[in-house]
Structure 1
Amino acid sequence: MVLPTLCMRYAQNDRTLFTFITSDEPFSLKNFLTETIIDKDNLPTLKLDRVYDYFIESAGMGLTSRPNLQRWIEIHDLIADSKSLDEDSLRVLKVIGILNLVTITGITKATRQLVAYGLCDLPQEEEVNYWQEKIAVL
């Protein structure tokens, strides 16, 4: 849901979208499908923190090259300053950042519930509670 908005606002629109889907670049969808083990009982999903990583690492964002990227720069700097946090806490920050970048309506507002769901493969109570606790600590 957020990928088209990110591509339209902060990248090269369709070109970035199709590159994300088809390229072998790190953090791309194709790369995710290649490196992910599929288990019929636990179908993994590509999560928003990976979309963040793709845009920062692979899409060649050039954060200082475009004036409308100020929000990206702020989010990237906050996450970079938080490198001492554990990996899951950093994932939470990335999801919050991505949701804040695409917020137009209340649908994608970075609520605790939406952030927790954005980090789950299947939003089962135990997994959602884990992410809710991570969010509460932050």
Structure 2
Amino acid sequence: MSTSAAAFRLICLLHSVIALSSGALMMFYMKEMYTFTHGIETATKLLGSTPHDQLLIRTSDSFAGLLLFAVGFLLFMVSFVKDREFQSFFAKGCTVLHGSVAVWRFWFERRVEDLAWDWLRQTVGDILLAFSWVFFLVYSWREKYD
């Protein structure tokens, strides 16, 4: 196995663990996660004020967590692909995806009053995740052209 393939597998597995654990927490422990990340007052606002709102928000969070869990499982499966061209294509797509999420957080999420203080931390996280894929691309280009 070449070193770029090992780097691809490592990055995929790291992102997979992050997505799987975040998805599981979103599905089953969203109230606790909101309290931990945003504080009790903001968590109460984010969880809704009426039983109907609370049910809709819990359902939405559960589906978002399930989607994130599925993405983590997909990343786990993709980590075993050995085709160098696919790895490069996948890394470019992930870089664009993380960059798009960072732009979305910058333009829209920071305007939500209850989340305004948290957008910067999450945007930095998205940029770091994108840089891990850029690191792989640079590393594989170096290996390809040396």
TM score, norm. by length of structure 1: 0.32
Greater C-alpha Rg: 2
Q: Which has the higher contact order (CA 8 A, sep 6+)?
A: 2
Greater helix fraction, Structure 1 or Structure 2 = 2
